[in-house]
Amino acid sequence: MPSFTLAEPLPARALGGNDYKTLALSALGGALEFYDFIIFVFFATTIGKLFFPPEIPDWVRQLQTFGIFAAGYLARPLGGVVMAHFGDLLGRKKMFTLSILMMAIPTLLMGVLPTYATAGLLAPVLLLVLRLLQGAAVGGEVPGAWVFVAEHVPANRIGYAGGMLTGGLTSGILLGSLVATAVNSHFDAQALLETGWRVPFLLGGVFGLCAMFLRQWLEETPVFIEMKRNKALAAEVPLKAVVRDHRAAVVISMLLTWMLSAAIVTVILLTPTFLQKLYGFDAPTALRANSVATLTLTIGCVIWGAIVDRLGAARAMLIGALCLALCSWLFYTGVRRDPTLLMPLYGLAGFAVGVIGVVPYAMVQLFPPAVRFSGLSFSYNLSYAIFGGLTPMIVTLWLKSDSLAPSHYVVTLALVGAATAFLLPRKPMR
């Protein structure tokens, strides 16, 4: 078992009014920013038709579209490390607010981009640049949100708070799914290609600016204020200390993120497209089912977060990862045999993905306060860039030889998560 330097938590107590205000504002802002980042994938088929040459094969167009989607993940480490560096030195709140602005503007601009028919190759290039900016922004958002909330709440409620915040972030996916469903239902196929696809991106820009305004009401974390008062901030570049002194924590965090990215990207973000391409569902049905799964995911995050406060990260992760493996296998194999089971099986799989609500609790506790933001951000974003960013292309190519590739990929990574559970502390933090 590796040895880690754990931070002194805030005293155990019940959550108060200020805690719930912090949770609500953080979760709402995170949901709106996450909507901006993922709305792209719900319109992947339409974007592929609009931003790439019409004469190329459909699978090549889909691969190129997912490649641009993946570019957002590849940009996450740089944005995350830079914002985490200043978050450890200047304050969590400042970077937590900046990430929103960095997301809102590119999303708004996506809604007014020229397409391939009018701008040629410049169209996908511009789309790629904006997607990279989105990735840099979200690279600071998720780790920043986890650290910000964990440092506000008492030790005995870190799991619940982290699960609730993660549920808030995933509700941004639900919002994206609902908006995509509404847009696909309101516009016919031709109108969607002409103007309808722009609506969710324009809405996203407005959502992001609203989220930035909401974050003005947040206060700096007590942990950072105490470190600043006691002159206990990092004496050197925080990332340097992370790489030198906390390698084991980085590796464990990356493995947990690998499982998280496999579950979110495959089961939630890519499956609506797979349901249409592989199983013959129409877009509104696939998106409605995705909304059900994302709702149960949000609920699952909160429940698994509450469980980790009682059982500790190791037991909760082991049980939850095995549950994810079983439920994802049941979903993909069951829908192929009986399409009428789509809604209940997708909802069950979504709830199982909620095990990601354990991840913030585990990762926050692996790094001491002075380098916590940098350590968590570096591990999370590097892993997400490598594994989350490549997942769409890996699964798409795998599907050419295996119709159950999504199931096999998620089950494999769930077992990686179960194995990683044995490296986590056995008892909950008190």
Whether 344 and 315 have beta carbons less than 8 Å apart is answered as no
Rg (CA), the chain: 21
Q: How confident is the model at residue 413 (pLDDT cuts 50, 70, 90)?
A: very high
Contacts of 85 (CB under 8 A, 6+ apart): 237, 238, 239, 374
* 264-286 mean pLDDT: 87
- Domain residue limits, the chain: 17-423
* 301-307 mean pLDDT: 94
The residue type found at 172 is G
pLDDT digits (tens, 9 = 90+) for 333-360: 999 899 999 999 999 999 999 999 999 9
CATH of 17-423, one of 1.20.1250.20, 3.40.50.2000, 3.30.70.141, 3.40.190.10: 1.20.1250.20
pLDDT digits (tens, 9 = 90+) for 44-77: 888 888 998 888 877 788 778 878 877 877 777 7
Sign, Cα dihedral of 120, 123, 129, 132: negative
- The CA-atom distances, in angstroms, between 218 and each of 17, 36, 214, 226, 243 are 13, 21, 8, 17, 31
